[in-house]
Amino acid sequence: MAATGERATGLSSAEVAERVSRGEVNDVPVRSSRSTAEIVRANVLTRFNAIIGTLFVVIMAVGPFQDALFGFIIVANTGIGIIQELRAKRTLDNLAVVGEAHPRVRRDGTSLELTNAELVLGDLVELGSGDRVTVDGRISEAESLEVDESLLTGEADPVLKHPGDPMLSGSFVVAGSGAFTTTKVGREAYAAQLAEEASRFTLVSSELRSGIDTILRYITWLLIPTAIGLILSQLYVNNSDIAEAVRRMVAGIVPMVPEGLVLLTSMAFAIGVVRLGRRQCLVQELPAIEGLARVDTVCLDKTGTLTEGGMDVAELRLLDGTDRGTAERVLGILGTADSRPNASLQAIIDAYPVGEGWRLLQAAPFSSARKWSGAVLQEPAGEEATWLLGAPDVLLPAGHPALTEVDRLGAQGLRVLLLGRTGTPLEAPDPTAGLVPLALVVLRQRVRPDAAQTLAYFGRQNVAAKVISGDNAVSVGAVAASLGLPGAEDPVDARTLPTDTGLLADVVEKHSVFGRVTPQQKRDMVAALQSRGHHVAMTGDGVNDVLALKDADIGVAMGAGSEATRAVAQIVLLDNGFATLPQVVGEGRRVIGNIERVANLFLVKTVYSVLLALAVIICRVPYPFLPRHSTVLSALTIGVPGFFLALAPNNERARAGFVRRVLRFAVPAGVIAGAASFACYLLARADHATGQVADTSSTTLTLFLVALWVLAIIARPYTWWRVLLVLAMGGGFAVVLAVPWLQTFFQLHLVGWRDPWTGVGISLTAGVLLEVVWRRLRAPGEEPADPTPHAAPGTTAPGGAADGAGDGAADGAVDGTTGGAVDGVTGGVTAEVGADVTGGAGK
């Protein structure tokens, strides 16, 4: 404990100006995303752009313009992707500025709040509970200053700091107050090298990204041998006509490349980030959107999450004939003794003025670990005594009569602090020894008006909510019960919890409310839930939540919380809106569920393209399609519908096994589509009265009808707009077949009735087989998800549309997709995660 004394005044204005002129400033730029050059490079220099670009150049050299349309689609996607990411970058950069740390610096004896960039070498930076240290320095003042350096050392136990001790950036204050003088700023400071920089835009491991990366890696391995086989077979069947052989080879290779899958995944992530950003939700790590969608358990800190940060003094109950005036004066002094008062102390400060005639000799700020604050006061009569203010069940021995009243008040959802006096020094091993209870301070918490609705939402989504608080268990249970949380009537005092992980997991799984939880216990409870296979999200706003936030699968911090919590969380609710969580969950579910849906479309195309290429090589026949035909098929059965399906609301909770589930349908469906189209092709070739154009047209019709059937299956469950989407794609193909100049442009002419109707018959047979596959391969009990999210009453549906994806797609267009449905023809747009989502394969 440090005695109060003369405060240093810090640098003068002249000294600050001198250091700025010497360049001794904290000039590390705060970046929430990549630079413009990095964005352009990442969107242009991808493996698939190289493949498609090469094929585009080849076709432009040997073939007509309409066979090179696929190349212009890639150019459009890349350009739109750059624009989209720059928009996302601007949004995120603005949010990062809002969410960055603002240290308090003492200059000319005055405390000022500055940005990190305004710090200079030698500045005196003030510290309080929850503050994050952003530059290196040396302690100048310390009053019970405890610092968590776990981000640097991995050691969770806080370190007690004294004047002269070093202070490293990346640490944060958990108790006490003080000040340090900066010794390293700018790029020399350790903060410039920290991966935990709060506003950095990072991409960490995710199942969605790794799954797509695995799929693309295998496809890449197939491209070269298939291309060689195709070019050789086409040279053979076309009598060494190199130009025609190249066109047919390109037509076989281009559909194998699911470049649109990467682009649509990128678009879905980027739009999700921008949507959440406009709701004042800062996503500091992109896969956090995906991660929160996989969550099945949410651990909530009561204070600041279910309740608002502010509190009010409801009553002062005197014990044992205590003088009310004395109690009020002491409370006023204890409130002001802490330079960074928490919500409870602030309520006391607002209620009671500082008493005259009392002198503060020594102070111990509130610590969440010991759960009390204290001070040594010299009373007007000259007598010195230690006064403590904190949790009654911590300051008093079990069974004390005053605890009965405390429990009764706590059962009403009220928070109670005990004021006591003792002759034991603050430095003693147990300052509470000999404590005489004098008064109970009854505080009323401000419950968030949206808390009950948000908890109800999680209940409907089968997401278990666990309230984990450092407050009295009975009081926490009363607050949770008032919000309708199931199991709140049976709160658990964490001091009775077992230390064994297995036993702890049993208790945590069975109960919903826990009180008197220490920071380490919060961390242990998260680990216990994870040991049972749960995907855990942790929300909080105080320093006591940091350990659990770091270890949870997803950490969610309140914007008004401590710098430390914002530094370690993946998601920051800048407007402190607990009701924003359903929107975050909804965005994650929309991204994952829709990308899985759209991935089926792309991979069916890849499978039937590989099968057709192998069949052509083996049978030594001309490849049935030209590149222009692949462009029509891809646009109408994948590109346009994939755009709308990727933006649609989707409320199905994410599940593990993305690759397995996608391939389970895509492989057999692709085999059926490839076999049906090749069978039609062989039958058409057997009719020598028709030529190659007629044979190709019948085959294209067959493949389109089968692919449209696949789309109809993937679009389930049906809503009005999904039915309209499928019908519109069929109508689009009919227009191509009916309009003469489109027939000529795409070289599609149906001749006679035998081959076209044969193709229709084969398509119907293939459709029946697809239905059988769809029903047989779905997991037992697996039902289509309701595409419309169910928000908590009074909140906005997470997907952004109450009726369905028609409005969802429009919402997506408003959110920056540059042209809405027009972009769907090109397969989507690329954003921040776009160039990286393919991992190594995409670069």
Q: Binning pLDDT at 50, 70 and 90, where does residue 28 land? A: low
Structure-model confidence comparison of residues 95 and 133, the more confident one: 133
Mean pLDDT of the chain: 77
Q: Of the residues 419, 447, 475, which one is the last residue of a structural domain? A: 447
Judge if 640 and 693 occupy the same domain: yes
Residues 636-690: pLDDT tens digits? 888 788 878 877 777 666 676 777 888 888 899 999 999 999 999 888 887 766 6
> Which residues lie closer than 8 Å to 154 by C-beta, 6 or more apart?
none
Whether pLDDT at 271 is above 70:
yes
Rounded CA separation 261/250 (Å)? 19
Domain membership flag for residue 510: yes
Residue 795: φ, ψ to 5°:
-115, 165
The domain that holds 66 is classified in CATH as 1.20.1110.10
CB 183 within 8 A of CB 19: no
CB distance 403 to 418 below 8 Å: no
Query: Cα 219 vs. chain centroid, distance in angstroms?
Result: 29
pLDDT for 572: 83
Show Cβ contacts of residue 397 under 8 Å, excluding neighbours closer than 6 positions: none
Instruction: Please tell me the predicted confidence (pLDDT) of residue 87.
Output: 67
500 by Cβ neighbours in 10 Å (0-12 / 13-18 / 19+) ranks as: exposed
Q: Are residues 426 and 472 in the same domain?
A: no
pLDDT in tens, 160-215: 889 999 988 778 887 788 899 999 887 776 545 543 333 343 444 567 767 777 77
Q: Which of 596, 640, 821, 605 is nearest to 730 (CA)?
A: 640
Asked if 266 and 374 sit in the same domain, the reply is no
CATH number of domain containing 182: 2.70.150.10
Does residue 487 sit in the same domain as residue 434?
no
Q: How far apart are CA 174 and CA 188, in angstroms?
A: 25
Cβ neighbours for 110, distance < 8 A, ≥ 6 positions apart: none
pLDDT above 70 covers what percent of the chain? 78
Phi, psi of 301 (to 5 degrees): -80, 135
Residue 630 sits in the same domain as residue 758:
yes
Q: What is the pLDDT of residue 827?
A: 32
Q: Are residues 591 and 504 part of one domain?
A: no
Is the predicted pLDDT of residue 539 greater than 60, yes or no?
yes
Q: Is 831 helix (H, G, I), strand (E, B) or coil?
A: coil
The pLDDT of residue 543: 66
**pLDDT at residue 2, rounded to an integer:** 40
Cis peptide before 717 (omega within 30 of 0): yes
> Is residue 418, in this structure, part of any structural domain at all?
yes
In a domain, 213, yes or no: no
Higher pLDDT, 709 or 38: 709
Domain count, the chain: 4
Residue 110 in this model has a pLDDT that exceeds 80:
yes
CA distance 29 to 16: 20
**734 inside domain:** yes
Residue 316's alpha-carbon distances to 332, 377, 394, 702, in angstroms, are 13, 21, 19, 82
- Residue 513, pLDDT > 90, answer yes
Local confidence band at 73 (pLDDT 50, 70, 90 cut-offs): low
DSSP 3-state of 309: strand
Say whether both 266 and 408 belong to one domain: no
181-195, 336-350, 459-473, 762-776, range with greatest mean pLDDT: 762-776
In tens, the pLDDT along 765-798 reads: 999 999 999 888 764 444 444 444 444 333 333 3
Query: What CATH number is associated with residue 320?
Result: 3.40.1110.10
Looking at the predicted structure, is the pLDDT value of residue 30 above 60? no
Residue carrying structure tokens 């990366």:
213
692-714 and 627-634 helices cross at what angle (nearest 10)?
Answer: 20
Task: For residue 132, give the 3-state DSSP assignment.
Answer: strand
Q: What domain range includes position 493? A: 288-306+448-574
User: Is residue 271, in this structure, part of any structural domain at all?
Assistant: yes
Positive/negative CA dihedral, 213, 217, 219, 224 = positive
Do β-strands 492-493 and 513-515 pair in parallel, antiparallel, or remain unpaired? parallel
User: Structure tokens of 446?
Assistant: 């401000």
Report the greatest alpha carbon distance in the chain. 119
How far, in Å, are 293, 610, 722, 756, 820 from residue 817 at the CA level? Answer: 23, 32, 20, 38, 6
pLDDT mean over 130-139: 86
Q: Is it the case that residue 386 has pLDDT exceeding 60?
A: yes
Section 749-760 average pLDDT: 85
pLDDT at 824 over 60: no
Confidence of residue 282 (pLDDT cuts 50, 70, 90): confident
Gap between the Cα atoms of 623 and 617, Å rounded: 9
CATH code, domain with 456: 3.40.50.1000
CA distance 442 to 414: 7
Looking at residue 34, its amino acid is R
At 643 the pLDDT is 79
- The confidence score (pLDDT) of residue 442 equals 92
Write out pLDDT tens, residues 305-331.
Answer: 787 767 888 889 998 778 888 888 888
Looking at residue 429, the DSSP 8-state letter turns out to be: S
Whether residue 841 is contained in a domain is answered as no
Can you give the pLDDT at residue 59?
73
pLDDT for the residue numbered 196: 36
pLDDT band for position 814 (50/70/90)?
Answer: very low
pLDDT at residue 278 is higher than 90: no
When pLDDT is averaged across residues 81-85 and rounded to a whole number, the result is 68
Residue ending a domain, among 415, 447, 479, is 447
Q: Are residues 667 and 730 in the same domain?
A: yes
CB atoms within 10 A of CB 377: 23
Q: How far apart are CA 599 and CA 605, in angstroms?
A: 10
- Do 168 and 236 sit in the same domain of this protein? no
Answer with the one of 524, 540, 574 that is the final residue of a domain: 574
If asked whether residues 72 and 123 sit together in one domain, one would say no
Res. 799: pLDDT tops 70: no
Q: Are residues 311 and 321 in the same domain?
A: yes
| pLDDT value of position 766 | 93
Range of lowest pLDDT (157-166, 228-237, 544-553): 228-237
Local structure of 494: helix, strand or coil: helix
- Answer yes or no: is 400 within a domain: yes
How many angstroms separate the CA atoms of 156 and 467, rounded? 22
Least confident of 52-56, 171-175, 525-529: 52-56
Is 687 noted as a catalytic residue in this protein?
no
pLDDT at 830: 28
Q: pLDDT tens-digit profile of 578-618?
A: 778 887 777 777 777 888 888 888 889 888 888 888 888 88
Min mean pLDDT across 79-88, 435-444, 521-530 is at: 79-88
Among 67, 213, 296, 301, which one carries the catalytic annotation? 301
Q: Identify whether residues 261 and 181 lie together within a single domain.
A: no
The answer to whether position 623 is within a domain reads yes
- Over residues 795-823, mean pLDDT: 34
- Residue of higher predicted confidence among 492 and 822: 492
